[in-house]
Structure 1
Amino acid sequence: MDVDNGSSDGGVGGSLDIEQSLLQQFSCMGTTDKDELVSQLQKLLGSPSHLNNSTAAFFLDMNNWNLQAAICSYLDIESPNTLPSMALVSDPVATETESIEPDTRFQKSWHICNNGLEQWPAGCYIQFSDGNDFGGNRIQLPALNPAEGTHLCVEMTSPSVPGIYQSKWRACTPSGSYFGDPMWVILTVVEQGTIELTEQLSHFNELGAIPPLAPQVPNPFIRQTLHHRDSSTDNAPPDEMYH
């Protein structure tokens, strides 16, 4: 993310000159609204997709909500040009949809790797970023060297109401900036007992058998028809219902 969105040959000095000019304008506004300050910090440093609300609020709070000081801290600590690189080795697009019953514990795993040229800094982690968190907690990441990989496993619990749910997880730097490919969990929560019934039906199909039907319960208020009837009674009136 470039601070200077104009000419690329201006160097760091040109970026800082533009930055100072903008900061002076915002200082004249004298706003103390925290949401507005978060928005202005994102506007100066890049789009919200690169600098999320929590990261912007972190730098502002660390600097007593001083916009200029927050920008300097961010540029000193980290810039998007130095963000780590991460790629999913497996489950890159989360095409699978797992079926599960309500309120059931399960594990979600991803295989990721450092596909960059530098070692990850200590303190990186993955966390929930959008959708339903399924009760999953933040997981710390090892400081992977380039081309190294690791398997992640998050303990989760399915929602109590049937439906289709999704959860988005991201890798974060120690200061909270997202990097790398997003990781997804997609769940179809079904009624209690549905999975067991589906497995039973599948077993019958494999055996080439027809699943047993529910027994037919006769109506006790209607006299049962006899299988063998006397031909002399064919023209007789039908049996009457009995009490």
Structure 2
Amino acid sequence: MLKPAPLDPSRLYLSIYPWAELTYCVANKPQPVGQTLRPGSTSMWAGLHFINGYSPIRAAGVAREFATSIHGEINPEVGGYLLNHQAGREGELALIGVDGIVVAREVNIAPQPAGEWELMVSTEEGNVFHRRSASFARVRSLTSIDSRPNEQFVSATISRVNESRTFVEADIQVPSGDRRALLSFSRPYFRGYRARLGKRELAVTSYRGLFPIVEVPADAHGRLTLIYRPPWLVWGGSLAGACGLILLLSTIAAYRYASSAPAESVG
């Protein structure tokens, strides 16, 4: 589970599998499960990227839009619709940036159209499909988007992309003129993302709550940073740090007091 094979860490996956609690319990599946399907949060152990996974509160737009359950199981009807009607080059999965799909052996379905996808691996757990084209860039410049049909955007030059679970960095160059650039980030959207180009703060919105998008003004250039830093995380981290410091100081004070206290005589 700590190794990514047979999956590709450079791709963004959607995994389709039945209800994990029933299908993969020890009574039904005594053998190890998860190296291919990666249910729940197990994809993080190997540095793999999935748009569906464990979410106890189902707060993300992906969870609501795709009707996922707590462990990332997608509603069967929604999963069938996505693979049959939204897996093409112009479909919703491509817009999100999904270029890999894992389908459990218990689910008899393959992404369509067949010419867009290639079966890369077939294991006892399921099948792994990749788009026949190269994997999508994690940061893309869009010239149009269907949620804003009356607007056109200029294509920006993107280079030196660096990303982790909580942030993305990239060099951005937007041509001069009167049109802005629209950047999409291939990662699930959560409230709390912040963007900055150099010292200038940029607004972060989303496409239907599915993935972050950022508008960059014309003729702008520099290092853009998108970071996940919601207020509750900042305040919670500060409070936890303060509590830890108080505990440490209290422990030191108690130790010094015990060391300096005179020993009681016996007898």
TM-score (norm 1): 0.28
Which has the larger Rg?
Answer: 1
Which one has the bigger helix percentage? 1
* Larger RCO, structure (CA 8 Å, separation 6 or more): 1
